Structure 1
């Protein structure tokens, strides 16, 4: 949420939406309505909408994007911003810059744009209003607001005593008749018949079926399992012949001094110096560094990826971490704002046309010019000329 200083009339207006706010000099109400969808869409989309009529017709503005952890700020023309970081204030202006100043605020506590005084300020989440300034504070982020919402009270646990319910044993049914033979036990005749049956049974029973249903009571000493001869030596492992024959015993070794399983260092065949030299790895060549020579005489190293154009923005290529913008203009001013990206991948230089308006040509040494496909990375070599149009070129060179 932002705080704006409203004005009844004037050229300055605030367009807010999607966690972003734009303070711009725009007297036309219809133009302000068209800027609202761009502000909702994103930071780069808002910059594209502002420069749609050309850089010379771009009005003074200050754009603040507080939708992410890293706050983005862009200032152009007469607009200015006061940034508070770690209790200290600094002013961001675009004095002497033909395009605009773009910076990233990682530790910003508050930002005041234009007449961003807190007196008489009104809150604004989304919309378009006439205003002379706006302010933003880090404590007003959505996640901080959510942290102030009271959590529902937790339900207290029941810590009272727990009682076990013991069921009464069921009473026998008095109407059920139990046979006397069951209650009295087995008669003597039945025991005698059972003994006769056991003597007539076959003494050897195959398998363990005769043990099921019977309980065997044995002492711990009897149940212990031991080898037949505890003093017997462990069994010798018979190795295949192709292993035992590969390492013949060393000359002069006493019989019984080798167990036949351990390979001694003296048993290994000696390696020739030529074999050791052949396996020595060759030194890895040092990584070659590159640079580009711009048509205006500047030389830019490719230690980090660069984005080249008339008003480049590193947010146009979010996949290039740590990219650096490089401004390059031409007489006809027909170079796109973010025209090409140049990055070193391994030992090669890769050029990508960033969907520029007039396209990009590359001229490899000894080859005819070819046009790059938009958004498709292309590998080039040292000596390649990257033509952006109207005489604006980049030449790939070796850094040194």
Structure 2
């Protein structure tokens, strides 16, 4: 009994573009940075699971792939091969060299039914590295510079390898063969009793090899543990919590985020979960001192805890040779998924320098929200950067 491996096969030359190939679907995506590495298996699983070109397009849209400047998708269905093309990708008839689909100048994508066409070249704006040669692929994910799709009957692959318990149903056992070949009137041989075989003791390796594995969705990732001696639910005396969604690396993010605030990886659609409040930012003083923003951080040349407007403050001491910086100059605090700053009526005030270089002086006692990348200019040439968490 053979198993159906794929309706087509791809031949590719290695390169920087990404080819995700399934038994009846294939997707070619433009080069991305290393933060995409965690998403490849998830996208490949979506490609393999797609049931039609429309289903494939919808699955890609969930991950914002449809917003990429250039990509191509192909699906083999009852009506032949169909394609979605956008940007600098061309689909060429391998026999006539005629361009049958292109996404040049298209804002969304072009869907093209390739009808009876069975062999196409997918031409990409990518350089072919020196020394590479064409390689075959049926199902998997690889980096490519060009792709040839062959959907002819000769290209369809069946595996002679039998997998799973059902494969034995089509086999004839040795005893059945012997019984069939017993001459008429003769007494069939009595099968010998099977000799007992000592089963080897399971090892950690065999247990690992026999374990059931599956790809975990971001919503199934474990919730970070609470600190010892605390209970979930900040209002009841435990640590504060927030609703969060997760990237594939397990970094928490605000609900509705499409890219991770820590590693910039794409975030799959998922139901938010309540988790202990994460580190929202890292304060980096020009003197070298640092502090994580989870709750409250008091900044000054000798900050006093009783000046905090939020519980359990962390103290960040900065140098001020001229004493131009107040003892407790300001407070940086977390509020849900936002970061806020309060000037604690400092003597020489606080300037906010935005990531775009804009400068604004805070009023004494003012509280305002800030974005990551903002710098707090105090006095004595001292600044504190509100940096991204690591």
Pairwise same-fold verdict (TM > 0.5): no
The TM-score normalised by the length of structure 1 is 0.31
Higher relative contact order (CA 8 A, sep 6+): 2
The TM-score normalised by the length of structure 2 is 0.32
Higher strand content, 1 or 2: 2
